[in-house]
């Protein structure tokens, strides 16, 4: 009888653990939102994080954006050539970049470059009692650590995505126009006919959402890190994996809602 009860208890333990984790995660976000709207805002820290997440990710975003556009143009050109629709190369590259690849790949790249560092930084602050020190000084750690990161994510993700889109479209131009012989007028002219502002706005919604999701997950994992170097390493891995998965899940949900 006791064994059966143990088995039932073990069965219930997992969903309880998941529920508790989700609850913690939600409360963490609630606190972050509360402190975002509670002045004063730590403006200097916000600028530092915008520089860290945004400016320092520019080169990797430009590089990946360029190559994504180039390979997209190459693949699309050969596919379209089969039914004589090469003229639609420009709008196809632009639509794919703006609607899908721009927000998603830039979010994944920022997660890898800045998200992991955010988790590690906050995690190390946690295990070396720097966060406790803030609390003992009667200073709220959400105001100093979480809010600037969340806001920096909101500001930088759409900007970096825009850079990714523009560089990607020019990467497609290089391959399509300079390498494969599509005329420049056709490449850009058709783009104007097929893309309206709504596409850009939807891409913007996506990158804003990814900005919140990635910084939320990375900050949470750092803030709740386990003990020692192993704890920080596990938290960083968890943050990158969870952020990447959530970017793809959110992408599907947003795509089905927006388009």
> Judged by CB under 8 A, which stretch of 72-80, 127-135, 147-155, 218-226 contacts other proteins?
127-135
By CB under 8 A, residue 132 contacts other proteins: yes
By CB under 8 A, residue 10 contacts other proteins: no
Cβ atoms of 142 and 35 closer than 8 Å: yes
Of 22, 79, 139, 201, the residue at the interface with other proteins (CB under 8 A) is 139
Tokens standing for residue 191: 């783009």
By CB under 8 A, residue 129 contacts other proteins: yes
Nearest distance from C-beta of residue 137 to other proteins, angstroms: 5
> Judged by CB under 8 A, which stretch of 101-109, 134-142, 161-169, 231-239 contacts other proteins?
134-142
Cα gap 251→226, rounded to integer Å: 30
Cα gap 134→138, rounded to integer Å: 7
- Report the phi/psi class of residue 228: left, alpha or beta, with left for phi > 0 and alpha for psi in -120 to 50: left
Nearest distance from C-beta of residue 239 to other proteins, angstroms: 19
> Judged by CB under 8 A, which stretch of 131-139, 158-166, 195-203, 210-218 contacts other proteins?
131-139
Tokens standing for residue 92: 């196809």
Cα gap 88→190, rounded to integer Å: 7
| Residue closer to other proteins (CB basis): 72 or 146 | 146
Of 137, 197, 256, 257, the residue at the interface with other proteins (CB under 8 A) is 137
Cβ atoms of 225 and 121 closer than 8 Å: no
Tokens standing for residue 153: 């994510």
Of 6, 24, 75, 135, the residue at the interface with other proteins (CB under 8 A) is 135
By CB under 8 A, residue 128 contacts other proteins: yes
By CB under 8 A, residue 186 contacts other proteins: no
Q: How many CA atoms lie within 13 A of 88 on its CB side?
A: 14
Separation of CA 116 from chain center:
11
Residue numbers at the binding site for other proteins (CB under 8 A): 124-125, 128-130, 132-133, 135-139
């Amino acid at each position: 009888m006791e064994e059966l009860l143990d088995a039932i208890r073990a069965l219930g333990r997992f969903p309880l653990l998941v529920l508790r984790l989700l609850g913690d995660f939600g409360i963490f976000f609630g606190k972050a939102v509360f402190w975002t709207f509670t002045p004063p805002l730590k403006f200097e820290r916000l600028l530092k994080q915008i520089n860290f997440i945004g400016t320092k990710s520019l080169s990797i975003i430009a590089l990946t954006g360029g190559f994504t556009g180039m390979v997209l143009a190459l693949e699309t050109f050969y596919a379209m050539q089969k039914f004589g629709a090469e003229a639609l190369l420009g709008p196809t590259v632009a639509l794919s970049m703006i609607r899908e690849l721009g927000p998603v790949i830039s979010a994944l790249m920022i997660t890898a470059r800045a998200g992991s560092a955010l988790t590690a930084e906050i995690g190390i602050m946690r295990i070396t009692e720097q966060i406790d020190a803030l609390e003992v000084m009667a200073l709220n750690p959400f105001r100093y650590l979480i809010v600037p990161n969340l806001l920096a994510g909101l500001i930088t993700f759409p900007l970096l995505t825009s850079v990714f889109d523009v560089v990607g479209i020019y990467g497609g131009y290089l391959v399509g126009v300079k390498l494969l012989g599509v005329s420049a007028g056709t490449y850009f002219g058709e783009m104007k006919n097929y893309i309206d502002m709504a596409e850009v706005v939807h891409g913007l919604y996506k990158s804003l959402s990814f900005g919140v999701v990635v910084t939320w997950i990375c900050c949470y994992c750092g803030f709740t890190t386990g003990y020692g170097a192993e704890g920080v390493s596990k938290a960083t891995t968890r943050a990158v994996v969870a952020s990447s998965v959530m970017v793809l899940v959110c992408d599907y949900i947003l795509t089905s809602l927006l388009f």
